[in-house]
Amino acid sequence: MICSMTGYGDAQHAEDGVSFVLEIRSLNNRYLKPTFKLPEHCQSYEGELDKLVRKRVERGSVTYTLRIRNTGADAAYKINRAALDSYLRQLDGAAATLPVTVDLAAVLGLPGVCQAPEETDAEREREWAIIRKLTAEALDKLIEMRMIEGKALRDDLHAQCGYLRERAEAIRTLSPQVVGEYHKRLRTRVDNLLGEAKLELAESDVLKEVALFADRCDISEELARLASHMDQFLAVCDQDERAGRRLEFLAQEMLREANTIGSKSNNAEIAQHVVEIKGVIERLKEQVQNVE
């Protein structure tokens, strides 16, 4: 069954005073466009996270947001005493000629004074294992929601195609009447004109003109192709999870057939049905923009 591109998944974990909060959101996009918002020390994970997302998601704008909060004592930045001493000596030298007031907070903010604690290889491996596990959980929830949305989309697309079939069947019923009506109108006009001119016209000539008209306005092939496209459209909705581009193509082909029917039909009632069909197809095209 088809899958929507709209979804949300999250996952959380807390361990040794460190909390991990992950959110993954996805919206419509013609292609897959992942965006990662990671803590500074996790930037190196982006390549692997991108691979994990691409294995599970084919289309959509995906926003991956990871927040990590460490409330333990080991989260404190380390003071670089050598750098601090260097700044203080320079300030002490400047005090000989200028009045200087040392603001400790400002000094600690100078480049190189405070340094983030370095993680060991074991800590990084443990952190990556947690992030990878949370990513799998959040992606599971995201895809589950996208599949639920996909079912709703599938039901709506089926309903729209049902109405489209009704309009197409109405056109099929009306189509044979078009030639007969044209024949009557042509016969009446010819009789009126010839009556005024007191001339005669062979019936074979009238029938030849009617045959030419019937050939020009024959829409049986277009109706058959429209029905075939609808059958394929519904089959794809039920069988293919990642069918957005195929559905877009089929909807465009249905619109092309509808336009041809409208231009060839030469009947006001059929033209009205074609307008309704084109409206339905436009709604289908809008809906399949949500399909992965």
Compute the average pLDDT of residues 38-66: 94
Both tokens assigned to 136: 């799998």
At residue 75, the pLDDT reads: 55
Q: At residue 250, does pLDDT exceed 90? A: yes
Helix axes 121-197 and 268-288, enclosed angle (nearest 10): 170
* Beta strands at 7-15 and 18-27: parallel, antiparallel or unpaired: antiparallel
At residue 64, the pLDDT reads: 98
CA atoms 161, 162, 164, 168: torsion sign: positive
Contacts of 150 (CB under 8 A, 6+ apart): 1, 2, 3, 4, 241, 291, 292
Q: Phi and psi at residue 274, in whole multiples of 5°?
A: -65, -40
At residue 262, the pLDDT reads: 82
Average of per-residue pLDDT values in the chain: 82
Distance of alpha carbon 161 from alpha carbon 230, whole angstroms: 7
CA atoms 195, 197, 200, 202: torsion sign: negative
Verdict on whether the full-model pTM lies above 0.85? no
pLDDT in tens, 151-188: 999 999 999 999 999 999 998 888 776 555 544 554 55
At residue 199, the pLDDT reads: 43
Q: At residue 214, does pLDDT exceed 60? A: no
Q: Which residue has the tokens 């979804």?
A: 7
Where do the DSSP E strands lie in the chain? 7-15, 18-27, 32-37, 60-70, 78-79, 114-115
Q: Which residue has the tokens 């003109």?
A: 209
Q: At residue 195, does pLDDT exceed 80? A: no
Domain boundaries, the chain: 78-114, 150-288
- Do residues 39 and 68 make contact, with C-beta atoms less than 8 angstroms apart? yes
117 — pLDDT class (breaks 50, 70, 90)? low
Q: At residue 215, does pLDDT exceed 50? A: no
Compute the average pLDDT of residues 100-125: 72
At residue 73, the pLDDT reads: 54
